[in-house]
Structure 1
Amino acid sequence: MNGRRRHVITDCLGLLLMVLVCAADVTDRQAARIMLPRLRSRFRKITLVWADGGYTGRLVTWAKEKLRLTLQIVKRSDDMKGFVVLPRRWVVERTLGWLMRSRRLVRDFETLPASSEAFIYFSQAMLMSRRLARPASRRRQEQPRWAAAA
C-alpha cells in the first residue's frame, strides 16, 4: 500500500489485539514506542512480546525498563535462502493473510488512518463471527472423497 503502513499485534492464535495505521515513513521501532505502552495498559497480563528484526536496538531495553515487557526478537539466520517459516512470526503473517481476504482492505480506500484501523478491526470481527457461526456438525461429518466411494 502506498504511503501507509499497518502495524499489528496479535495473540498466539493470531487474533488482533492492536492495530496502528500510520505514514510509511514511520519505522517499526517508532510504531512500537506508540503501540507497546497502549498494549501494556490494555492487557496487563502480557509480559512477553515476540517481534521480528525490525524491532532490535534500544527498543528492547526501553520496553524492559519502562514497560516491564520482555521483547524477544525472532531472528532469521544468515544461511537461510528464500522464504522460510520462522517460529512465532508466521502467526502475524497468517493474520495479515486472513485480513487480505477482505476486499475493502486489499485497496486503501480510506482517507483517515483511524477509519482504516476501524475497517481492520471490522474485518477481523467478521472473520471470527463466521468461524463461530460455522456448524460444528458439518466439520465432524465430512469425510474424504475416497472413503465415501469405498
Structure 2
Amino acid sequence: MYPSSCTDEQWALLEPLLPARGNTGGKGGRGEKHPRRLLLDAIFYLVRGGIAWRALPREFPSPTTVYDIFCRWTKADVWQRITDVLRHRIRVGAGRNPTPTAAIIDSQSVRGADTVPTRSRGWDNGKKVGGRKRHIATDTLGLLLAVVVTAASTQDRDGAQPLLAAVRAKFSTITLTWADAGHSGRLVRWARQVLNLTVAIVKRCDPGFVVLPRRWVAEHTFAWISKHRRCVRDYETRPEHHEAMVYIATIMTMSRRLARSTNR
C-alpha cells in the first residue's frame, strides 16, 4: 500500500522469523484477528514516516492493536532476533564469516519530544542536544550488533559499558573494537580486564572533514537509521522502545537489501 510496506520478497524473509502465533498452545484465548503482514506494514509505516501511533491510516488495524503488538514483540526480543538472522545472511552472502570478529562503537544524541519523561532524558552539552543518546555497535560492514539508549547527559564511555557487555555476551568471537576519543580512558582498561576485549581508539588528527579509518562505518549506520523519521527524534516514553525503533529501522534496511539480491 505504501513505499514502506513489505514487498513479497521481504515478507518471505520476515514471516518465518516472527514469533509463534497466539492461541497455538491449547490454552484457550482468541486467535490473532489481523493478518501479520498488515500489522508489520503498520509498524514499518510508523517508523519510516515518523507519525504518532494514533495517526495510523484507517487501512491498518487500530492504533491500540498495532501498539500492543509492537510492545509484545519488543518485550520478547523479536526485533533483536530478526536483526541477528538478517545480519547473518548478509554476511554469508558477502563471503564473510557468519559471526563477526571485530566491531565499531559510537554514540549519537537525539532530541527528545515532550513525551520523553524527565527521568530518562538529559542534556548533551557538547552537542547542545536535550533528549537521549543511542550507543551502537556494528560489524565492519556497518550491520547493527547491539544498541543501548541512555539519557543524553551520559558520557560515551559510561554508555559504552553496557553496550560492550551486551556485545561480549552475544559474540564471543569479537576480540577488537574501534571507538573514538570519547571512549578512551577507563573504558579501555575495563574492557580489557573484565571482558577481555581490546578497544582501539581512532583519534582525529587533521582539521576539517576527514574520513577516519573504521569510525566512518558507524557513521554510515547512523545515516541508514536516520532515514527513518521516527528515529530522527525520540518520542518514546521508554528507552527500550527507542531501541526497538532502531532495530526496526535496521530490519527494514537489511530486508530490502536481501530482497534486492534475491530478485537479481
Q: What is the TM-score with the length of structure 1 in the denominator?
A: 0.86
Shift of 1:63: 1.0
Answer whether contact 2:156 2:183 (CA < 8 A) is retained.
yes
Indicate whether 1:49 and 2:177 are aligned. yes
The one-letter code matched in structure 1 to 2:202 is: V
Indicate whether 1:117 and 2:243 are aligned. yes
- What RMSD in Å do the two structures reach over aligned CA positions? 1.3
Stretches of structure 2 that go unaligned for 5 or more consecutive residues are: 1-110, 112-129
2:29 alignment counterpart: none
State which of 138, 144, 150 in structure 2 corresponds to 1:16. Answer: 144
Answer whether contact 2:175 2:196 (CA < 8 A) is retained.
yes
1:142 alignment counterpart: none
The one-letter code matched in structure 1 to 2:259 is: A
Answer whether contact 2:178 2:201 (CA < 8 A) is retained.
yes
Indicate whether 1:76 and 2:199 are aligned. no
Indicate whether 1:133 and 2:228 are aligned. no
Shift of 1:37: 1.6
1: CA distance between counterparts of 2:241 and 2:247? 10
Indicate whether 1:94 and 2:203 are aligned. no
Deviation string 1:32-64 (CA, Å, 9 cap, x unpaired) is 122112211111010000000001112111111
1: CA distance between counterparts of 2:225 and 2:214? 18
2:168 alignment counterpart: 40
State which of 181, 186, 193 in structure 2 corresponds to 1:65. Answer: 193
1:105 alignment counterpart: 231
Deviation string 1:50-103 (CA, Å, 9 cap, x unpaired) is 0000011121111111110011000111xx121111000000000000111112
2: CA distance between counterparts of 1:37 and 1:31? 11
Stretches of structure 1 that go unaligned for 5 or more consecutive residues are: 139-150
Percent identical across equivalent pairs?
Answer: 54
